[in-house]
Amino acid sequence: MKKWLLCCSILLLLTACEEQPSKTTKATGTTEQIPVELVDVIDGDTIKVKYNGNTETIRYLLLDTPEVRHQTLGKQPGGEEASARHKEIMKTGQVSIEFDVGDRMDDYGRLLAYVYIDGESVQEMLLSEGLGRVAYIYPPNTRYLDEFEEAQEIAKEAKKGIWEVENYATDRGFNQAVFEQNGDCLIKGNINRDGDKIYHVPDSQHYIQTNPEEWFCSEKEAKDAGFRKAGG
């Protein structure tokens, strides 16, 4: 009888000690925002900063913006806009960075971080304005994935920026072919509030956000209609 009770007690103890499945899907880690000195804004999702006495390149976590000067992709529509807006934001206050719990460096030697300006998420700002997409989701570096996807959805529903042209922003990147599929007449002619006639080519800074009054098939056609090139 005593042996039976002892066996039952041991069995109950072992059962109680079994590891229960965790309901937690997010690692927490530190949320410390570390002040850094901004050195340069490279493009829409990359900056250089002074960190721990060294100049480091910071690649934004969970964000991808169109390229400005990629070796193979070249300049993508929306890249100039994202880069220009990014530079505006970074001038407005104190820059700080926050690491997640996973890898802190990518294969190119860049630090991976969340970036803030006066405590406000720069990633979230760019996503909410339709200047980038949520991407490069590699757990456990997913602390703010839900918040970023919500910001992206707001821009997507409003057809802002990269979401204005259907199927341009995809899960795999930016599909420049959609501009070719829309025909050869891709130059946007816009008349501003001062009556100035300005045309925008697909890789120009304000192309995506421009609402055209007219479309042109060539720059010559736009100029013949009295339009001048944006930035010219």
Catalytically annotated residues: 59, 67, 110
| Contacts for 193-200: CB closer than 8 Å, 24+ residues apart | 196/228, 197/225, 197/226, 197/227, 197/228, 198/227, 198/228, 198/229, 198/230, 199/223, 199/227, 199/228, 199/229, 199/230, 200/230
- Residue from 65, 59, 157 nearest 107 by CA: 59
Categorise residue 133: left if φ over 0, alpha if ψ from -120 to 50, beta otherwise: beta
Question: Which tokens sit at 161?
Answer: 């920026």
Q: Please, are residues 133 and 152 in contact by the beta-carbon 8 Å criterion? A: yes
CA angle 229, 231, 232 (to 5 degrees): 60
Phi, psi of 158 (to 5 degrees): -85, 0
Compute how many other C-beta atoms are within 10 angstroms of the C-beta atom of residue 127. 29
Strands (E), 124-184: 133-134, 169-170, 173-174
Which amino acid type is present at position 225?
A
